[in-house]
Amino acid sequence: MFAFPEQFSNATKANLESQFALISALTSKTFEGVEKLVELNINTAKAALENSSATARQLLAAKDAQEFFSVSASQAQPNAEKALTYGRQVASIAADTGAEFSKVAEGQFAEVNRKVISLVDEVTKNAPAGSEAYVSALKTAISNANAGYEQFSKTTKQAREAMETNVTAAVSQFTQAANKVAAA
């Protein structure tokens, strides 16, 4: 007997469960990333407030204009370094979260793909005679979709790596410029 409706009903249920698992996993990873970012921002704000208070006390204690400007100038390098460190930490959190997203999505895609192939194999076992061309076309379509996803995944990883390289290069240039300004 051919249980075509039951097979698709079970496949639909499995697909919905997979989608729910994917959404739950991505939501969890999003919250983890946001939590890290909030913690970084709170710690950065506390450090900035403490630094500002210390600098304000030094400026208020200055005995003349030269000492005032000397204290002000001495803060440029440390502040630039702190900004760079903050930027690196934000970029790291974003990169880690993106990598986790990719890992979760790839895992879910592999599971869904396995279920689809299993369903197609099960359905095609009971396919009527003469439908071989349709079965072959369906399997080719699934294979092409998998190849397209793999190419998309590879391109996304390359783009993320290029972005990380560009951010690293920009931070390096900014650090060199800040060091030159501080030396001058």
Rounded CA separation 161/41 (Å): 25
Mean pLDDT, the chain cut into blocks of 10 residues (184 residues total): 58 76 86 94 95 92 89 83 86 85 79 75 73 78 78 77 76 71 63
Round to whole Å and give the CA distance between 27 and 128. 44
pLDDT at 49 (0 to 100): 95
Which residues make Cβ contacts (< 8 Å) with residue 88, sequence separation at least 6?
171
Q: Give the residue carrying structure tokens 């959404």.
A: 23
CB-based contact 73:182 (threshold 8 Å): no
- Region of 130 please: left (phi>0), alpha (psi -120 to 50) or beta: left
DSSP 123-181: HHHTPPTT-HHHHHHHHHHHHHHHHHHHHHHHHHHHHHHHHHHHHHHHHHHHHHHHHHH
